[in-house]
Amino acid sequence: MSGSVTDQYVLEARGVTKRFGGVTALDSVDLELREGEVLALVGDNGAGKSTLVKTITGALGRDEGEILFDGQPVHIQTPLDARNIGIETVYQDLALVNELSITKNIFLGREIVKDNLFGRLFGALDFKKMEANVRDLFARLDIRISDIYRDAQGFSGGQRQAVALSKTIMFGKRVAVLDEPTAALGVRESKMAMDLVRSLKDHGLSVIMITHNMQHVLNYCDRVMVMRLGKRAAVRNVSDVDGDMLVGLITGAIAARSG
């Protein structure tokens, strides 16, 4: 999976700490995401994985620490700040509106306005252009969803995940953050979702992916960062680990300094 990975960091978290009352959920955590890589973020439940990505993407505030983008400190206070910088996030709930069509979901908040008087004066939307863009994207990604007018609630979990990931490909500028992209999916749909994760990289995005699936780490990722009890326990090249070692690092059976 090394491919076009470089040594240049596109995104860094330094010394990120997050407390909830008397509980320290993140304890001075560092993270580095290289240009063009898929970085797996693994750990037991409660290790701090989701809290870390939420602090990076503006869904949660930080008590301490800083975020750097292309080596420069950035101020991310809200998810919109992260999006404006170039970070797209797909959470487990996918953030799809069940009552809206696939096209409306993909362009939600980014609708294309008609390039005419009605568009300029009244904000009339160009549904034909949006639908054409969706069909072109689905064709390029081999997503076999033809009925883009149907409400999102009428699609399977794998199809809904495909929509969420394709939205990231359409609008993602630099970084995609994925929280358990195959949660609750069957084997076939999980493979479809992970092939789309690979497509994110092929389309020039760097990816942080929270996952519990060790085979997905070994087959689709370049590096893996292990968290334990709110701290960074280890960082390894995927080529240097196997499933047993990952489990040992996650549980603490194998002690390791982060690297």
pLDDT in tens, 123-159: 889 999 999 999 998 888 888 888 888 898 888 888 8
- The model's pTM is 0.86
Q: Are 238 and 222 in contact (CB under 8 A)?
A: yes
For residue 147, the surrounding DSSP H or E stretch is: none
- CA-CA-CA-CA dihedral for 211, 214, 215, 216, to nearest 10: 20
Q: Is 95 in contact with 177 (CB distance < 8 Å)?
A: no
Count of positions (residues) in the chain: 259
SS (H, E, C) 206-252: EEEEECCCHHHHHHHCCEEEEEECCEEEEEEEHHHCCHHHHHHHHHC
AA identity, residue 245:
M
Query: Which residue's entry shows tokens 């999916």?
Result: 185
| Dist. CA 40–CA 65, nearest whole Å | 21
Task: Enumerate residue ranges in the chain where pLDDT < 50.
Answer: 1-3, 258-259
pLDDT by residue (tens digit) across 92-114?
766 688 899 999 999 988 899 99
Domains recognised in the chain with CATH numbers: 9-94+171-251 (3.40.50.300)
What pLDDT is stored for residue 2 in this prediction?
42
Q: What are phi and psi of 16, to 5 degrees?
A: -75, 125
pLDDT of residue 234: 95
Which residues neighbour 119 within 8 Å (Cβ) at sequence distance 6 or greater? 113, 125, 126
Q: How far is CA 198 from CA 41, 173, 192, in A?
A: 16, 16, 10
Q: How many CB atoms lie within 10 A of CB 27?
A: 16
Q: Say what the pLDDT of residue 93 is.
A: 63
| pLDDT for res 258 | 45
